[in-house]
A and B are shown apart, each in its own frame.
Chain A
Amino acid sequence: QVISVEWRSEKSLDAVESVKSELAKGSILAGAAITGDMLDPAKDATALALFIPSSLSPKHVRQVSRALQQAVEDERIARSGIDRAMLTRLADQPEPLTTRISPAGSEAKERTELRLLVPGAFMFLLWICVFTSANYLLTTTIEEKSNKVMEVLLAAASPMQLLAGKILGYSMVSAVMLLMYGGLGIA
């Protein structure tokens, strides 16, 4: 991406109004106002005022605001006298190395991802089976109705028996699919 931005700094906070009028005219890309309190490390970080024209894309707004936020953060850290690398190290939370111990005393590493992945995969498999069999059931019923097979079948069985048989049959087909894919996954 081409970035060709000229930066201009205004010392007086009175310049905010002129920045707004420049934005309205479309002569500048964006404007921001930083007060002394924002940069004071002893005070809480407050919201910085960002002024943008209505035509500026959300991506550009993100880029400009991220640069300004990061700059304010860097300045606050620099003013506090703390080394940034040390601050990152101090704020870094230690990762727990979890070991599950069974009643028999054996140890096993905790794998949280796997514990979530396996039920997720089975849920997805069940979803596939339900949707595939429901689709088959609907298609074949319409097909039998259209080529008069249904009329022949209805001479031998009641509509309730016919549909119950279809649903039962496709449930069995889904069960076979589930067993096949599930078995393959377990294997």
Chain B
Amino acid sequence: PPLVGTIVVVDPSDTIVPRAKAILETP
């Protein structure tokens, strides 16, 4: 099934989102 939606990351450093996004989108 497709993985569609919004993931909210509570992260004071604001560094995890770009990394996690890149990892999840890498096949």
Contact = CB atoms under 8 A, between A and B. Distances in A.
Given A39-B15, A70-B23, A33 B10 contact: yes
A75 interface: yes
Given A2-B2, A5-B24, A7-B21, A71 B7 contact: no
Given A3-B25, A5-B4, A71-B23, A32 B15 contact: no
A95 B25 CA distance: 34
B12 A11 contact: yes
A4 B21 contact: no
Contacts of B8: 8-10, 15, 19, 22, 28, 30-32
Interface string B1-27: 111111111111111110111011100
A2 B3 contact: yes
B10 to A, nearest CB: 4
Contacts of A33: 9-11
A93 interface: no
A68 interface: yes
Given A5-B6, A19-B8, A29-B4, 10 more contacts: A4-B4, A9-B10, A9-B17, A28-B7, A29-B3, A29-B5, A30-B7, A32-B16, A34-B11, A74-B23
Interface of B: 1-17, 19-21, 23-25
Interface of A: 1-13, 15-16, 19, 22, 27-36, 39, 57, 59-60, 63-64, 66-68, 70-72, 74-75
20 contacts: A1-B3, A4-B2, A4-B4, A5-B5, A5-B7, A7-B6, A9-B14, A13-B10, A28-B6, A28-B7, A31-B8, A32-B8, A32-B9, A33-B10, A34-B10, A57-B1, A63-B3, A64-B3, A70-B23, A72-B16
